[in-house]
Amino acid sequence: MTLLKTRNLDISVAQRKLIYQLELEIESGTSWALLGRNGAGKTSLLHTLAKLMPAAAGEIYIEGESLAKLEGKPLAQRIGLLFQQGLPAMPKTVYETAMLGRYPHHQSLWRDDPEDMAVVENALRDFDLAHLSSRSIQTLSGGEAQRLALAQLVAQAPSLYLLDEPSNHLDLTHQLKGLQRLKSKLTSHRAALVMASHDINLASQICDHVLLLMGDGNYLAGPASEILQEDHLSEAFGCIIRRVVSGKEAFFFPSA
Amino acid sequence: MLLLLLTLLAFASVLFSLLSGSLTLSLHDVLAALFADEEGLQLQIVREIRLPRTVAAFLVGGLLSLSGVIMQILLRNPLADPFILGVSGGAAVGALTAIFLGGSVFWLYQSAFSGALLSILLVFTLANAGKRWSVTRLLLTGVVVSAGWGALINLLLTTSSENTVQSMLFWLMGDLSQSRASWHSHALLLAGMGGGLALSRALNVLTQGDQNAQTLGVRVEALRTTLYLAASVLTASAVVIAGSVGFVGLIVPHAIRILGGRDHRYLIPGAVLLGGSFLVFADSLARTILAPQQLPVGVVTALVGVPSFILILRNSATQSS
């Protein structure tokens, strides 16, 4: 099923056209990497899809409905966003913060439903935070705070997960394990994932599709194996990028 | 648990207030005045003098504390209080003008309320004009408009005769001696608390910041407008009853947060109960400490509030470390 569809989508920031005529179709169950150099429009695209900023032109459809017509809780049930800068450090506990993710689903004004509590407890367990649930989030390390932001997003349980540099502050184990846990939810929830990242290798380990922004308004979109080629990547990043195969996996690194 | 204790505190404060005064009454007299169908001078004092004033004090404390909670989250600033955006300044200019012109109490109320409304609309229009809304813009507009009202207040004070200056100063410091709460203010406090509770989950989410709240499904722009107007009207109705009683709206929300009520589902009713009780106690002291002289209640709230708040702050610091 097509979860997200864009038609002739243009994105501009400060009169500069970053993405031109984007035609994207994201099927449920798939995971997309959003790659490109600094200032290529990765965050702007994610914010446009989350309706935080307007598109310069074009249309966006989520589950067949026009994004322009969605607002508030119905929108939050469909689209969730992990911000690049994570969550602000407020005087709240880990559990309370993760529970905020249930906001678009709460039935009662006052009571937390057992279902909400179960979802939050599972999300905290998924990101190894269960033992910290009563800790104040001001005492968390950078990586723990990032895992909490991910847990809050999983508690929100949107159909489309938008992740802006999810591997920020995460150690290598949590980068791979955390994102794989999130990915494992996609098929059962008929959801999809788009993650902006600077880590091509992590992207190729997690994602089956790639949207590569060239920085001049053009883009390449398709299955990861087609897009993750030395020539495409070198052009997009403006430096020579080599591909090295080790066992079944391919790795990418810049070459001097 | 916290809310239960605060409810008990509220009842205790009301009883304390009804018992204190120049004429010593027994608990039996007070209860008889409240619940029995008898007549007599003592009962009359309780019913017609002490009770209305106590109710007014509780209402004003509750209104200001609720408004303080809202202002602090709207402006994302722990120093925000109900008066920061100029509502009280507008009301004060209205009230002082009425005193200056020698109007009746009725005109003082009307004039104060009109001044407050004018200030609310002025700040809202200026802050929303042209560019995109931001917290800083609203705060700066409010502070500047406040300063303007301050100048007008000084102008009125310096050009008035000595007699009128006395009553102007009492009004400015916050004073409950003339106060009678109308049914409007009861209704407003109840509506404010109900609305606040209905929005409390959204307020919890809003503490994460505008963009975060937006992606979690809060309609941030509509919520902000609602919060601004609600806090302003709550403040206006408190100021009209009792003048600018300082300090309550600033520290009561913090006290509840420190006592464990950071969640707005508890913070909102908690702040109303504590704010109401606090002002009732403060007013009882204001009219008995130097009796027969009555002090403006605003003086007592600061004198009692400062040390007790420092105490709470110290205790919470030692607990969490």
Cα separation, B89 vs B95, whole angstroms? 10
Partners of residue A242 on adjacent β-strands: A253
Predicted local distance difference test score (pLDDT) of residue A91 = 83
For position A36, what pLDDT does the model report?
A: 95
Evaluate whether A217 touches A17 at the Cβ level (below 8 Å). yes
SS3 B259: coil
Chain B partners within 8 Å of A77 (Cβ): 217
At residue B295 the predicted structure's pLDDT band, cuts being 50, 70 and 90, is: confident
Q: In this complex, do A72 and B217 lie within 8 Å of one another by their Cβ atoms?
A: yes
Least CA distance to B221: which residue of chain A? A72
Is the predicted pLDDT of residue B79 greater than 60, yes or no? yes
More confident residue, A188 or B190: B190
Q: Is A141 exposed, middle or buried (0-12, 13-18, 19+ CB in 10 A)?
A: exposed
Looking at CA atoms only, how far is residue A251 from chain B in angstroms? 34
The answer, yes or no, to whether residue B162 has pLDDT greater than 60, is yes
pLDDT greater than 90 at residue B1: no
B207 and chain A in contact, CB less than 8 A: yes
Convert the pLDDT of each residue in A55-74 to its tens digit. Answer: 999 999 999 999 999 999 99
The interface predicted TM-score (ipTM) is: 0.92
**How far is it, in rounded angstroms, from Cα B128 to Cα A154?**
36
Q: Which residue of B has its CA nearest to A51?
A: B215
Over pLDDT 90: what percentage of chain B? 46
Q: Is the pLDDT of residue B319 over 60?
A: no
User: Which residues in chain A touch residue B209, judged by CB atoms under 8 angstroms apart?
Assistant: 88
Residue B264: the pLDDT is 94
B205 touches chain A (CB under 8 A): yes
Beta bridge partners of A213: A219
Whichever domain contains B302, its CATH number is: 1.10.3470.10
Residue B49 has pLDDT above 90, yes or no: no
**Taking CB atoms and an 8 Å limit, are B208 and A91 in contact across chains?**
no
Owning domain of residue B75: 2-320
Is there a contact between A76 and B215 if contact means CB atoms under 8 Å apart? yes
Domains and their CATH numbers in chain A:
2-254 (3.40.50.300)
Residue B43 has pLDDT above 90, yes or no: no
Q: Show the beta-strand stretches assigned E in chain A.
A: 2-13, 16-27, 31-35, 57-62, 65-66, 79-82, 160-164, 192-196, 209-213, 219-223, 241-246, 249-254
Mean pLDDT value across residues A110-128: 93
Mean pLDDT of B38-65: 87
Residue B320 confidence (pLDDT) above 60: no
- If you ran DSSP here, which 8-state letter would residue B45 be given? I
Contact residues of A toward B, CB < 8 A: 50-52, 71-77, 79-81, 83, 87-88, 90-92, 96, 100-101, 103-104, 106, 109-110, 136, 156
Number of domains in chain B: 1
Q: Which residue of A has its CA nearest to B216?
A: A76
- Encode pLDDT of B205-260 as tens digits: 999 989 999 999 999 999 999 999 999 999 988 988 888 888 899 999 999 998 88
Q: What is the mean pLDDT of residues B16-36?
A: 80
Which of A79 and B243 is assigned the larger pLDDT?
A79
Residue A139 has pLDDT above 80, yes or no: yes
More confident residue, A141 or B30: A141
Strand partners, A24: A6
